């Protein structure tokens, strides 16, 4: 199968979480719910969402508060400091999102109107953007680069589940395609109702996001974080690149582009291969994914691995290539039945109803109301009208004619 990945290094933040962040802002600002002239924006995240939030906040001239686990990469914290964000580091690693939610709730209760929380895990303006923009961009790339092939699937790891809405868009146009969802093997929430710490930064947060449409999930695959870090080492060291170019005859221009894949981008690549192998797809099939960020955010992780394990050698690079690339298989992959989808959907109850105060009736509607999800994606027209009226009221439409 042909795997097409959309790189996101070229975005201003160097990651996918940039334009989708504008959704929660442009929904609130025209309605007067958020005033950037005196309120702070809270951006709960495991790294990239709060980077996009801090960037957009800087453009607005308002203060951004980035709330993320203390175990995230050094580069994330350095980037946030460089743009002037206030940083709150919560206990734990990638999967400790509950602690982020607790801090957000604490700040909104103690600070009142001084802060506004923009929570990507339950903000429908996040997936709305991906539905209409990322989805159509994926379709355009497939049509341009894989003419004559069948669009057979999309594979994306679940972080906030925002990008997964691009699969919902594509499925409305190509209903036989499959949507695959990835998570860390060390934190198999969807696959096994499980939990745990892991090292694939940006995904797998021990809960099911409110905005995830489980009705459309066809496949769940767990990706070993050791595979992702080992492949990252192979792709981003001189020894690893030498093995790929000289021993396995991969074109140099291809190898030089592998740094476009961050850790979660590598997980997306591995998951797409697992999915293609499971369904026995051929050169007539195309599967789409994204490289959420590049490896520029993770150089310190290679240094940590070298300190722990010693110098990377050609022998180890060959082992990593054999085990983690040639050895990709279909283990820890589930082709979802109706009961699997319902089980995963019901996990939302414990995070969102019991802990975050969401309405059980809406949770049930997400599963039982055939129109629920299309109503969410249909908010685009209302939002566009809201923006036009706001721009007319403030005179911005005339200023930028």
For range 33-60, the mean pLDDT: 91
Does residue 360 carry a pLDDT above 80? Answer: yes
Mean pLDDT for the chain? 94
Which domains are assigned to the chain?
Answer: 2-10+126-335 (3.40.50.1100), 19-117 (3.40.50.1100)
pTM: 0.94
- The pLDDT value given to residue 14: 67
Report the pLDDT averaged over residues 371-399: 91
Residue 20: pLDDT over 70:
yes
Say if residue 155's pLDDT is above 90. yes
Query: Tell me, what's the pLDDT at 16?
Result: 66
- 306-333 tens-digit pLDDT: 999 999 999 999 999 999 999 999 999 9
Inform me whether the pLDDT recorded for 21 exceeds 90: no
pLDDT at 335 over 70: yes
Q: Is the pLDDT of residue 336 over 80?
A: yes
pLDDT in tens, 229-263: 999 999 999 999 999 999 999 999 999 999 999 99
Give the pLDDT of residue 300: 95
Predicted pLDDT at 153 = 98
Which is higher by pLDDT, 26 or 378?
A: 378
CA–CA dist 34, 390 (Å, integer):
14
Read off the tokens for 172. Answer: 């409305």
Name which residue leads in pLDDT, 5 or 8: 5
CA distance 39 to 126: 21
Q: Is 149 left (phi over 0), alpha (psi -120 to 50) or beta?
A: beta
- What is the spatial distance between Cα 401 and Cα 395, in angstroms, rounded to a whole number? 10
Residues 6+ apart with CB under 8 A from 106: none
């Amino acid at each position: 199968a042909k795997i097409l990945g959309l790189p996101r290094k070229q975005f201003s933040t160097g990651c996918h979480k940039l334009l989708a962040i504008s959704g929660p802002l442009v929904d609130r600002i025209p309605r007067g719910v958020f005033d950037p002239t005196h309120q702070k924006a809270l951006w709960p995240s495991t790294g990239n969402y709060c980077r996009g939030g801090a960037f957009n906040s800087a453009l607005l001239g308002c203060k951004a508060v980035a709330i993320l686990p203390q175990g995230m990469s050094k580069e994330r914290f350095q980037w946030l400091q460089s743009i002037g964000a206030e940083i709150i580091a919560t206990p734990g690693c990638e999967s400790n999102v509950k602690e982020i939610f607790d801090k957000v709730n604490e700040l909104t209760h103690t600070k009142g109107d001084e802060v506004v929380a923009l929570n990507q895990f339950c903000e429908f303006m996040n997936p709305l953007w991906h539905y209409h923009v990322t989805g159509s961009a994926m379709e355009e790339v497939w049509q341009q680069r894989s003419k004559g092939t069948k669009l057979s699937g999309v594979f994306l790891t679940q972080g906030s589940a925002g990008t997964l809405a691009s699969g919902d868009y594509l499925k409305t146009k190509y209903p036989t395609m499959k949507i695959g969802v990835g998570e860390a093997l060390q934190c198999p929430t969807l696959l096994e109702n499980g939990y745990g710490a892991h090292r694939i930064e940006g995904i797998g947060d021990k809960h099911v996001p409110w905005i995830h449409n489980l009705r459309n999930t066809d496949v769940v695959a767990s990706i070993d974080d050791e595979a992702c870090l080992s492949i990252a080492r192979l792709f981003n060291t001189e020894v690893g690149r030498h093995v790929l170019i000289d021993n396995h005859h991969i074109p140099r221009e291809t190898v030089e582009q592998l740094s476009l894949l961050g850790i979660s981008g590598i997980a997306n690549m591995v998951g797409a291969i697992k999915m293609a192998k499971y369904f026995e797809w051929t050169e007539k099939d195309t599967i789409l994914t994204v490289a959420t960020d590049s490896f520029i955010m993770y150089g310190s992780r290679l240094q940590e691995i070298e300190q722990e394990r010693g110098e990377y050698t050609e022998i180890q690079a060959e082992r990593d290539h054999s085990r983690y690339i040639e050895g990709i298989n279909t283990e820890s992959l589930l082709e979802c039945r109706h009961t699997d989808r319902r089980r995963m959907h019901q996990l939302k109850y414990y995070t969102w109803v019991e802990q975050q105060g969401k309405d059980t009736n809406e949770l049930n509607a997400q599963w039982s109301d055939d129109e629920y999800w299309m109503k969410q994606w249909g908010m685009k027209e209302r939002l566009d009208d809201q923006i036009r009226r706001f721009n007319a009221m403030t005179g911005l439409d005339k200023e930028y004619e």
